[in-house]
Amino acid sequence: MDRRNFLRAGGLALAGAAGLPRGLRNQNISQSYVYKTDFDKNKKDQWLYEMRMDHKGFTDFASASDAEKSFTLKIAQVLNGDLNNRPVEGEHVYAILSAEKGKTLYGTWDIETKFIKTISGSNKFEKGLSKNPLLRCMEFYFVEIIGKDNKIMQNLPYRAANNDDGDCFLTSACVQHKQMPDNCEELQLLRGLRDNYMSETANGRELIGEYEVTGPRLVQNINSYENKADIYEYLYTALVIPSVNMVKEGRNKEAVEYYKGFISEMKKRYL
């Protein structure tokens, strides 16, 4: 393939992605994203945290609803490395009082919270935890709970559902939207492109790594839109089919460039 066709693939991707439908937010749906600590069976005494929150509550604080500004926090004390030995366990509701772009770390949000109520279990907290803790969040990466001494008390990594391709928008477009089998020709060819071609080059591996991060975020955001069916239909028509045709014709390098250009526009539109 010559350079002209290679550049043409990128141009076609941008032209095709230009028609991506804008996501229409469903105001009746509050998206719950999970952040939680890891359990260490070798640690005798530990505190486990699980937070469920809607990112709009802090990324778009001014227009977020009260429900979107509300989040839950489960706290459990585990003794002797035994998950069944929990002398303290409770679930609590908090409100986000304010949110602003992080001043100490790029890409983060500094969040003020207010304790609302305990909805189940104990109302006992870990020593050093403020009843109204400050949070530092990088969406889809981590939430840090700041203790009374203004130091990081707990770090809660983001937890994405992980079921192979379950957070893949290509799979969502084919399987969930088009009701095609998971081993359909389209997905088999695209997985082959990933495993047998992209994985053999540094640039391809970089794209795969980026996809593993952005794929779940794109799926979750698209699924929160009222018009998600229109978006998936467009992805199938304008991304899946052209990419598959290129692979069938042996134009793997063009297919990768087409995919790369298309994803760049998707990130602008849906992240």
pLDDT in tens, 168-190: 888 878 777 788 888 899 999 99
Tell me the average pLDDT across 137-156. Answer: 92
* CB-based contact 165:171 (threshold 8 Å): yes
The pTM of the full predicted model, rounded to 2 decimals, is: 0.58
50 pLDDT exceeds 90? yes
Out of 18-22, 156-160, 181-185, 239-243, the most confident range is: 239-243
- pLDDT at res. 102: 87
Cα–Cα distance, 75 to 47 (Å, whole number): 7
- pLDDT at res. 12: 62
- The tally of domains found in the chain comes to 2
149 vs 75: which has the higher pLDDT? 75
**7-16, 151-160, 232-241: the lowest-pLDDT one:** 7-16
Closest CA to 261 of 17, 2, 4: 17
- Domain range for residue 134? 33-159
- pLDDT at res. 29: 53
- Please identify, among 144, 159, 174, the residue that sits at the C-terminal boundary of a domain: 159
**29-43, 113-127, 131-145: the lowest-pLDDT one:** 29-43
- pLDDT at res. 166: 46
- Please identify, among 143, 159, 175, the residue that sits at the C-terminal boundary of a domain: 159
22-29: list long-range contacts, CB under 8 Å, 24+ apart: 22/269, 23/221, 23/222, 23/224, 23/225, 23/227, 23/228, 23/231, 23/269, 23/270, 24/225, 24/226, 24/227, 25/224, 25/225, 25/226, 26/224, 26/225, 26/226, 27/65, 29/224
151 pLDDT exceeds 50? yes
Residues 102 and 165 reside in one and the same domain? no
Give the pair of three-digit tokens for residue 37: 């600590």
- pLDDT at res. 46: 95
Residues 224 and 261 reside in one and the same domain? yes
Residues 246 and 256 reside in one and the same domain? yes
3 pLDDT exceeds 90? no
Residues 173 and 130 reside in one and the same domain? no
Residue 236 — φ and ψ, nearest 5°?
-65, -45
- pLDDT at res. 160: 63
In single-letter form, the type of residue at position 265 comes to: E
30 pLDDT exceeds 70? no
Residues 147 and 258 reside in one and the same domain? no
- pLDDT at res. 27: 58
